[in-house]
Structure 1
Amino acid sequence: MNIEKTKVHFTDNYLINPTNPIVVNLIGAGGTGSKVLTSLMEMNHSLIALGHAGLNVRLWDDDIITEANLGRQRFAHSETGLYKSVALINRANRWSGTNWKAETIKFEKDSLDRLPENAGATIFISCVDSVKARFEIADILKQLNNSRAYANRPRYWMDFGNSQHTGQVILSSIGTIKQPNSEKYETVANLPFVTEEFPELLKQSEITDDTPSCSLAEALEKQDLYINSALAQMGSSLLWGLFRNGLTQYRGFFLNLKDFRSQPIPVG
């Protein structure tokens, strides 16, 4: 009798037992990104306590903190006028004694089509609100994957996206991740890019009015108060599972916070 095997993706070995902290590029420091950074602080501390080398995060965002960002995003009134990335990274470093870095530019190629400096990382996490930015990130990741440099070779991309009440998190492999032989599971070596698999979904979930909000009340008309937090926590749990369990049956989920429904996306 043929029994169908459960499809799983085994975590790249480098993430499980690295000699140095895993380099993470977190792209976007707004409603979702500011909360994902807090989760990465917790994850880093917990990994180190378990004997892992931990994380080394670089946060990319060229936005300045305004009054409209207070409340829904993780910023204080005293931080208005500062770069989001700088305020968050300074706070994270003071809190946890890390030496994480802030970039006050967008994660994009320059006018001469050159990759951004310090673009190399093992894990990329995007918390951006435009389709264009996601396709730009996808293009950069493909170029990085085709380079011959082994240090900080890109392995995973996790994308967060949302509209007012709904959102999704999609985990992709950057290229093919070598899988072990398994009698128990059917292994899946490649997790497709969100830009290749769900281009129409990205266009639907994009916040169509991308002009800066002038107040918190106006911002809440575009994104509800807790959609970013919910996505950040659930997405970070998926990433934590890659480290802690060494495999995953799921590569993301869809979330509707209005009626509290969550739909996992299996690998394969």
Structure 2
Amino acid sequence: MNNNKIKVHFTDNYLINPTNPVTINLIGAGGTGSKVLTVLMEMNYSLIQLRHSGLQVRLWDDDLITDANLGRQRFAESEVGLYKSVALINRANRWVGTNWKAETQKFKKSESENFSENILSNIYISCVDSVSARFEISDILKSLNNGRYYADRPLYSLDFGNSKNTGQTILSTIGTIKQPNSEKYETVDHLPFITDEFGDLLKQSETNDDTPSCSLAEALEKQDLFINSTLAQMGSSLLWSLFRNGLTENRGFFLNLKNFHSQPIKIA
């Protein structure tokens, strides 16, 4: 008889019963980030209808909208030349009446003195292009784990990454999350950062081509049309399950859109 319990992670209670809107720092407003923001709008409205406090989002990106961003990202021709973060947040606020915020700077250590309390949030969602940026974000989040309790206490990070046809989303805890006693499950209080668990693979996959695309056709040679939106939907579904189900058996997934295959990453 197999007595092995299923390993799960129970959501921190603050996400389920918050006294204020759950705060989210969304880092990156490009192909994936712009679509994750749309999903967060839907999630926020749905949570409020379920008598939850909802979400308060701050979007970080210092890039300006170019012609190459049209079509694959959530931007209109009339927005070319504007900051991506400002255009998206203004649209979201007008659409659903939120008071979300935009930052026109990178989320990085060298500018941390300008962050003040804006850097603090319950959830960090990273949708960045470079491996170096992901390591830098991880270093910042590790430095925030000071154990103090406050409304914006860092709890989780959700990392989105992709190449042309493949990608992954991985959920991590910032420090440890106290777990309830369970007779049915084996509870796991710590989920490692992607940079700790897959750091060597990330470095091997790093490309040196950070040159901005000059057209949509050129951009599509680097990232296919639907890889970002598919990742955004699937990854945000993992976040939604934390709110609605209160626990998860999976902490992410690998996706190959070319052959329509996805592989869940079980909690270990």
Same-fold status (TM-score > 0.5): yes
Q: Is residue 60 of structure 2 the alignment partner of residue 72 of structure 1?
A: no
Structure 1 residues 48 and 205, CA gap change in structure 2 (3 angstroms): farther
Q: Is residue 181 of structure 2 the alignment partner of residue 185 of structure 1?
A: no
Distance in 1, matches of 2:234 and 2:207, equals 21
Q: Kindly indicate whether the alpha-carbon contact (under 8 Å) linking 1:108 and 1:116 is maintained by their aligned counterparts in 2.
A: no
Structure 1 residues 207 and 74, CA gap change in structure 2 (3 angstroms): farther
Distance in 2, matches of 1:110 and 1:54, equals 31
Secondary structure of the corresponding residue to residue 119 of structure 2: coil
Structure 2's unaligned 5+ residue stretches are none
Q: Kindly indicate whether the alpha-carbon contact (under 8 Å) linking 1:108 and 1:115 is maintained by their aligned counterparts in 2.
A: no
Structure 1 residues 61 and 228, CA gap change in structure 2 (3 angstroms): same
Residue 109 of structure 1: how far off its partner (Å): 1.8
Calculate the TM-score normalised by the size of structure 1. 0.96
Secondary structure of the corresponding residue to residue 200 of structure 1: helix
* Residue of structure 2 equivalent to 1:196: 196
Residue 144 of structure 1: how far off its partner (Å): 1.2
Q: How many residues align?
A: 267
Whichever residue aligns with residue 259 of structure 2, its letter is D
Q: Is residue 127 of structure 2 the alignment partner of residue 127 of structure 1?
A: yes
Structure 1's unaligned 5+ residue stretches are none
Residue 110 of structure 1: how far off its partner (Å): 2.4
Secondary structure of the corresponding residue to residue 23 of structure 1: strand
Question: C-alpha root-mean-square deviation of aligned residues, in Å?
Answer: 1.3
Q: Is residue 242 of structure 2 the alignment partner of residue 242 of structure 1?
A: yes
Whichever residue aligns with residue 232 of structure 1, its letter is A
Structure 1 residues 188 and 149, CA gap change in structure 2 (3 angstroms): closer
Residue 148 of structure 1: how far off its partner (Å): 3.8
Residue 147 of structure 1: how far off its partner (Å): 6.5
Q: Kindly indicate whether the alpha-carbon contact (under 8 Å) linking 2:20 and 2:151 is maintained by their aligned counterparts in 1.
A: no
Residue 200 of structure 1: how far off its partner (Å): 2.5
Q: Kindly indicate whether the alpha-carbon contact (under 8 Å) linking 1:163 and 1:207 is maintained by their aligned counterparts in 2.
A: no
Secondary structure of the corresponding residue to residue 203 of structure 1: helix
Distance in 1, matches of 2:222 and 2:205, equals 11
Residue 232 of structure 1: how far off its partner (Å): 0.2
| Identity in percent | 77
Distance in 2, matches of 1:42 and 1:206, equals 33
Distance in 1, matches of 2:187 and 2:23, equals 25
